């Protein structure tokens, strides 16, 4: 059973403000969802016995590329920074950290 303190802790970890009046209903909903997904605990995994999938896209492979073709310096700067809620010159502007 998940508690309201758990919800508060999870909200903190997720960096989401959850209003106090919402915590109880969220707790109940998360609890009912966990009640459903708990059935996963019954899935029987016998280690070593599962042979690999032979489906085509299941081959695990590393995808590498040459570290080449750099773009022009500042080519995308304006496009990207123009989306920021607050900026100062070519910097994102945030509140003081230290």
SS3 content of the chain, % helix, strand, coil (to 5): 40, 5, 55
User: Dihedral of CA 26/31/34/35: which sign?
Assistant: negative
DSSP states along 32-43: HHHHHHGGGGGS
Sequence-ordered list of residues with C-beta below 8 angstroms from that of 29, at least 6 positions apart, any chain: none
If one asks whether residue 66 binds other proteins (CB under 8 A), the answer comes out as no
Exactly one of 48, 63, 68, 89 binds other proteins (CB under 8 A); that residue is: 63
Q: Is there binding between residue 88 and other proteins (CB under 8 A)?
A: no
Q: Is 51 in the site for other proteins (CB under 8 A)?
A: yes
Tell me: does residue 29 bind other proteins (CB under 8 A): yes
Q: Which residues lie near other proteins (CB under 8 A)?
A: 2, 6-7, 10-11, 13-19, 26, 29-30, 32-34, 36-41, 43, 45, 50-58, 63, 65, 76, 79-80, 83-86, 92, 94-97
């Amino acid at each position: 059973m998940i508690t309201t303190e758990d919800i508060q802790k999870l909200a903190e970890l997720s960096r989401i403000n959850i209003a106090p009046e919402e915590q109880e209903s969220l707790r109940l909903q998360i609890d009912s969802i966990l009640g459903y997904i708990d059935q996963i605990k019954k899935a029987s995994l016998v280690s070593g016995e599962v042979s690999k999938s032979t489906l085509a896209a299941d081959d695990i492979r590393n995808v590498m590329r040459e570290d080449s073709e750099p773009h022009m310096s500042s080519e995308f700067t304006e496009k990207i920074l123009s989306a920021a809620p607050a900026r100062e010159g070519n910097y994102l502007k945030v509140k003081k950290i230290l």
